[in-house]
Every structure is written in C-alpha cells, then in structure tokens.
Amino acid sequence: MIDQRALPHTFEIFRAETSDEIAFAIKDMVVRGAPSIGAAAAYGVAISIINAEPLDQATNKILQTRPTAGDLFFAVRNVSEMIEAGMDPDMAANQYVDTIVEQCRAIGEVGAELIPDGGNVLTHCNAGALATVDHGTALAPIRAAAEAGKELFGFVDETRPRLQGTRLTAWELANEEIPHAIIADSAAGYYISRGEVDLVIVGADRICENGDFANKIGTYTKAVLAKTHEIPFYVAAPASTFDFDLKSGADIPIEERDPKEVLFVGEYRLAPEGAEALNPSFDVTPASLVTGIITDKGIISPDEIDPDELRMY
C-alpha cells in the first residue's frame, strides 16, 4: 500500500505480510480513509487465513485499531463470512475491494452532475483515491466533472492536526491538474460568506440509519456554515460506510488520538512545554444539515435511507 505518512514529499510502498503488520498500518495511518481502511482490513483477514493465524485473534486485533471507521467493521465481517462460506481468501478480499472501487467510480459519475461548470467546491480532509483505493468519494465527483470538461476550482481545507488536506488532497488534485488552493480550516467561513463556494462535498467514516454521520474533525463546522449561508452540503460514501445498527450519531464511537498530533508538527513542538491538548479525530454532523448523500445508486436525502437498497452484495 502507499505509505500515506510519507506523502507528499516521498512516494513509498509499505508491504504487510501479517495481520500484525496490517493492524499497525491502519493504527499508525500508513493507510487511512474509511474505504481504504476497510480494504486493508479485508486483506488482513485473508492474510490471517493464508498464514494459518487464529482468525478470531487476527480480526480482534484489526478491529481495535480505528473505532470510528465503519468500513473496518463491515469489511472484517463480510470477508470473514465469505471465507467461512467456502470462498478462497484471496478471492474474497479482492471481490470486496473491487466492489468498493466500482461503487466509488459510480459515485463520481453521480456526483459530477451536482458541480456546475465554473463551480467552486469546498472539501474537508482527504476523500480521494488514497482514502478509497481508487477514484475517491468526495473527490470522485470533482475528478469526473473535470474529466467531462467542466471548469472548476477546489477549496482544500488544510485539515488539522494531521493535515490530510494539505498533504494528500492537494497532492491528488495537483496530479490530476485540477485547479485548487489550500486554505486554513478557519478560512472556510470567510470564503463561504463571500459567496465564493458553490457547494461542499465531504466523505464519511460512518453513516447511521437516520443519516447522521461521522467524518474528520471540523466537518460539522463546515455543515453549519453551509446551512447558514444556504449552500448545498453533500456527503459521498459507498454502501460499506452505512451502519444500520446505529440509530443516530450519538451511538458512533469517536476516536481520541494522541495529543502530540496537536502539540507537534512532525518532530517540532508548537506548544509551550507543559501545555496539554485534546484530540478527537472525528465529529458528528446531524442529518438535518445534509442536503444529500451521494451513493453509487444515486443521490438520496437522509430520510430516504433504505438498508435494502444500499446492500453491498
């Protein structure tokens, strides 16, 4: 897998051959983004079978890495079930990942229709190919619109504290030659209030039955700004990100990460000695702030979520 910790300065490949190495890659954010985490977990299940590791031990280890990402749990459950039903481990993992990739491609086609020619799109965190194996969720419509010949511009939130926007989204858009600019997280309201943003598209780490969803910390703020200034706010996600066992966002576990991510940039300490920090990795945006959810089957409003329509298989 691409080592996302090294980007954008170097392009490195991380090779995982055991479930321990898969768990490390997910926990340490070698791989990140809910669909990509799910893909890594799918291969982790397959690797544990191939290596004759106890499946329960391997899956428990993987499931303890990132508690908020719904795709992680979905992938482990589904690939384990496919293998237990007699499918070859390689085939089961590849089928899972291929399905995610196809859904993300379709999300791009569906979402591209929302972006006007000459439009300005704001996104938060990284929900591109790095986060989803290929195509992206929030970035898939931007890519598809650009490929269709539309002129567009991307406002890229820096996304503190891990700077996924600055490091990863900008890197992807630069590679695609799509015009964009990185902005401080706190500058989004400035551009939205000036009428310079036409719509917001973000990814999701888990979507509940009622349409509440978790995404990278700072997403809720963007949704409130969009609602206040009456611009559309869309969430893009494959079926694997929906968790129909959770009734509302109050049920989503929120990962707390190491405070050092806030206090330091790399090895350089920003904060004074003795200062403390809080570091929730995600926040929850209520369904009432969501204009629509972009899926491979079309755009749905939160009150139209139908588990039967969104089944992955």
User: How many C-alpha atoms does 86 have within 13 Å on its Cβ side?
Assistant: 0
- Reference 200, options 125, 101, 102; nearest CA is 125
0.85 exceeded by the pTM? Answer: yes
C-alpha torsion angle, residues 95, 96, 97, 98 (rounded to 10): 40
Report the alpha-carbon distance of residue 93 to residue 22 in Å, rounded.
Answer: 14
174-212 pLDDT, tens digit per residue, is 999 999 999 999 999 999 999 999 999 999 999 999 999
The pLDDT assigned to 313 comes to: 55
- Give the DSSP letter string of 240-303: GGEETT--SGGGS---B--THHHHEETTEE-SPTT-----B-EEEE-GGG-SEEEETTEEE-GG
Rg (CA), the chain: 19
- Please indicate, yes or no, whether residues 98 and 131 belong to a single structural domain of this protein: no
- Based on the fold, state whether residues 78 and 180 are members of the same structural domain: no
Q: Give the tens place of pLDDT for each residue, 232-270.
A: 999 999 999 999 999 999 999 999 999 999 999 888 999
The string of pLDDT tens digits covering residues 146-177 is 999 999 999 999 999 999 999 999 999 999 99
Phi and psi at residue 122, in whole multiples of 5°? Answer: -100, 135
**Domain termination site, one of 52, 70, 103:** 103
Does any domain span residue 27? yes
Cα separation, 131 vs 32, whole angstroms: 6
Structure tokens at 28: 């340490």
74/118 same-domain check = no
Provide the residue range defining the domain that includes 32: 19-103
The CATH number covering residue 140 comes to 3.40.50.10470
Q: What is the pLDDT of residue 244?
A: 92
Whether pLDDT at 312 is above 70: no
The answer on 160 and 209 residing in a single domain is yes
Taking the C-alpha atoms of residue 118 and residue 160, their distance in angstroms, rounded to an integer, is 28
Residue 83 CA to residue 29 CA, distance in Å, equals 27
Q: Are residues 45 and 82 in the same domain?
A: yes
What's the CA gap between 313 and 297, in Å, rounded?
A: 13
Residues 131 and 264 in one domain: yes
CATH of the domain at 78: 1.20.120.420
Q: How far apart are CA 51 and CA 19, in angstroms?
A: 9
Q: Return mean pLDDT, the chain.
A: 96
Task: Please say if 296 is a catalytic residue.
Answer: no
Is 47 found in the same domain as 25? Answer: yes
One domain, residues 183 and 277 = yes
In a domain, 8, yes or no: no
- Check 71, 205, 212, 283 and give the catalytic one: 205
pLDDT at 22: 96
| 3-class SS string, 159-222 | CCCCCHHHHHHHHHHHHCCCCEEEECHHHHHHHHHCCCCCEEEECCCEEECCCCEEEECCHHHH
| Residues above pLDDT 70, as percent of the chain | 99
Domain match, 82 and 119 both: no
Cβ atoms < 10 Å from Cβ of 307: 10
Q: Based on the fold, state whether residues 210 and 286 are members of the same structural domain.
A: yes
54-102 pLDDT, tens digit per residue, is 888 999 999 999 999 999 999 999 999 999 999 999 999 999 999 999 9
